[in-house]
Amino acid sequence: MRLENKVALVTGAARGIGKAIVLAFAQEGADLALADIEEATLDQTKQEIASLGRRVFAQRCDVSDPSQVERLVTDAERTLGPIDILVNNAGIGGGGGVWETDHQTWQRILGVNLMGAYYFSHRVLPRMIERKRGRIINIASIGGKIPFHHSAAYVTSKHGLIGMTRSIALDTATLGITCNAICPSWTLTEMALSYARSLMASQNITLEEALAHMPTNPQNRIMDAAEVAQLAVMLASDAAAGITGQAINVDGGAVMY
């Protein structure tokens, strides 16, 4: 098993890409600390991890609140030990153009998508540096490389997340730590389904037709969360020791850089 006896902390772990990652990590031998704002679904995911025979800690956390981040990491380390792998996956969308997005919405999107990743990285890095090993994986988006229409705050946050990824990678390159970003395109999660349902309502089409409208990549398909999870497993493993500072797309060829 590629992650045997490693301790991984994953934010946004209750569903979607985050849940796919924690299940893949558990199957590869990792013990898991789970963070999510949705307590009911978080508990369900915790039970699934426990059924795989791994140690698991779960706690509700608003990642945009540094005091909640501090409490969660402290409690997780007390329960499981030092964090070997951090996956900053929590994220939200919404907003519009810059002129359409009010201050509160802008701050909320950047608070979750960018500041949350900063708070967790800031908290776990000193001990990773002390132990001379660690993996940080930031779940960005192809929206961190190209802009989307009417998503200014989201696009800004994901561009910033890739920038932070490269900065951490450079500053820790000789310290046994790697930091990489994964950039998915549309992935079959609740967020994608929510968008598909809005297309159903606005265009009077079926769910299948709405999903078929969404892919804009050469493979003409929506990505599966398991594809993102398997890349995360590889980046978290010892086999990826030489991979750092990269923003790797899982997008069916939509963005080829």
Pair 155, 192 in one domain: no
Q: Write out pLDDT tens, residues 229-241.
A: 999 999 999 999 9
DSSP conformation letters of the chain: -TTTT-EEEEES-SSHHHHHHHHHHHHTT-EEEEEES-HHHHHHHHHHHHHTT--EEEEE--TT-HHHHHHHHHHHHHHH-S-SEEEE--------SGGGS-HHHHHHHHIIIIIHHHHHHHHHHHHHHHHT-EEEEEE--GGGTS--TT-HHHHHHHHHHHHHHHHHHHHTTTTTEEEEEEEE-SBSSHHHHHHHHHHHHHHT--HHHHHHHS--STT-SPBPHHHHHHHHHHHHSGGGTT--S-EEEESTTSS--
Residue 193 located in a structural domain:
yes
Q: Write out pLDDT tens, residues 76-112.
A: 999 999 999 999 999 998 888 999 999 999 999 999 9
Residue 257 located in a structural domain:
no
207 Cβ contact list (under 8 Å, min separation 6): 193, 196, 197, 200
Pair 83, 162 in one domain: yes
The number of domains in the chain is 2
Q: How confident is the model at residue 150 (pLDDT cuts 50, 70, 90)?
A: confident
Q: Write out pLDDT tens, residues 158-210.
A: 999 999 999 999 999 999 999 999 999 989 887 778 777 877 887 888 888 87
In this prediction, residues 127-143 reach a mean pLDDT of 98
Strand order in the sheet with 177-184: 56-60, 31-36, 7-11, 85-88, 134-139, 177-184, 247-250
pLDDT at 203: 82
Residue 256 located in a structural domain:
no
In this prediction, residues 6-33 reach a mean pLDDT of 98
Q: How confident is the model at residue 42 (pLDDT cuts 50, 70, 90)?
A: very high
Residue 251 located in a structural domain:
no
pLDDT at 235: 99
Both tokens of 214, joined, read 């969404």
- pLDDT for 73 beyond 90: yes
Distance CA 115, CA 29 (A): 30
Q: How confident is the model at residue 61 (pLDDT cuts 50, 70, 90)?
A: very high
Both tokens of 197, joined, read 């349902």
Residue 153 located in a structural domain:
yes
Pair 37, 67 in one domain: yes
Q: For residue 93, count CB atoms less than 10 angstroms from its CB and return exposed for 0-12, middle for 13-18, buried for 19 or more.
A: middle
* Residue 41 belongs to domain with CATH number: 3.40.50.720
pLDDT at 101: 96
Pair 57, 179 in one domain: yes
Residue 254 located in a structural domain:
no
- pLDDT for 214 beyond 80: no
Pair 23, 90 in one domain: yes
Which candidate in 119, 154, 195, 257 is catalytic?
154
Pair 129, 35 in one domain: yes
Distance CA 18, CA 204 (A): 31
Q: How confident is the model at residue 149 (pLDDT cuts 50, 70, 90)?
A: confident
Residue 212 located in a structural domain:
yes
Pair 154, 33 in one domain: yes
Pair 112, 70 in one domain: yes
pLDDT at 45: 98
Q: Which domain holds residue 209?
A: 188-222
C-alpha 74: how far from its chain's center? 20
- pLDDT for 3 beyond 90: yes
Distance CA 129, CA 174 (A): 10
Pair 106, 218 in one domain: no
The reply to whether 195 belongs to the active site is no
Pair 72, 171 in one domain: yes
Residue 57 located in a structural domain:
yes
Pair 214, 116 in one domain: no
Q: How confident is the model at residue 217 (pLDDT cuts 50, 70, 90)?
A: very high
pLDDT at 63: 99
In this prediction, residues 213-240 reach a mean pLDDT of 94
Pair 181, 194 in one domain: no
pLDDT at 174: 99
DSSP conformation letters of 72-93: HHHHHHHHH-S-SEEEE-----
